[in-house]
A and B are shown apart, each in its own frame.
Chain A
Amino acid sequence: DGGITQSPKYLFRKEGQNVTLSCEQNLNHDAMYWYRQDPGQGLRLIYYSQIVNDFQKGDIAEGYSVSREKKESFPLTVTSAQKNPTAFYLCASSPGGSNYGYTFGSGTRLTVV
């Protein structure tokens, strides 16, 4: 079945360490997105990519980095520069353009101690 796989589901890291969250899709979607979810807030866009080898900053990109070397993969690195990294991270994909539906992953809960 086609879908998005995020791994791991739970991740613990020490403060000051970089950590990479995986997002893989087999839907042949051009566009991929990373969102952050905090309690009581709507999802906020971190980075997005509409095509391989290209990506754009979202609303809260500081302290994060991404790559899009393959169509099916869009990993997110949470760097030590991110001041408050503990959150729930969701990856999504869409065929591209604003008139298509989105498919979401099951999320990764990152806790930095």
Chain B
Amino acid sequence: KNEVEQSPQNLTAQEGEFITINCSYSVGISALHWLQQHPGGGIVSLFMLSSGKKKHGRLIATINIQEKHSSLHITASHPRDSAVYICAVSNTDKLIFGTGTRLQVFP
């Protein structure tokens, strides 16, 4: 079993829909990261959080430390949100990555 599990693996949505991507982990962590990978391959860091909730524009990330679970929400989704979203956790001095959720938003 992977230490970081994401669901769903693939997600399609119509423009404007509310999207949720989930991440569960089984190890102790100091922080959880949400990353975005576009088709070109480069990765952008969206959020780093260790408790509660963070919001940036249409993106919201929450974490429940007791349940070892985090969610990434996208409100009013847009085709430019199409990407792979990756959850990663900081464990000691390393990152442990989930396998990613591929999101496609259609107009």
Residues of A near any B CB (own CB < 8 A):
31, 33, 35, 37, 40-45, 48, 50, 58, 88, 90, 92, 97-107, 109
Contacts and interface: CB of A to CB of B under 8 A. Distances in A.
Interface residues of B, number: 27
* Closest 4 pairs between A and B when the two form their complex, measured CB to CB: A42-B97, A106-B42, A104-B43, A107-B41
Contacts of B33: 101-102
A50 B92 CA distance: 13
B40 A106 contact: yes
A48 B31 CA distance: 19
Nearest to A88: B41
Interface stretch (B44-52, B55-63, B66-74): B44-52
A107 B100 CA distance: 17
A44 B42 CA distance: 15
Contacts of A105: 42
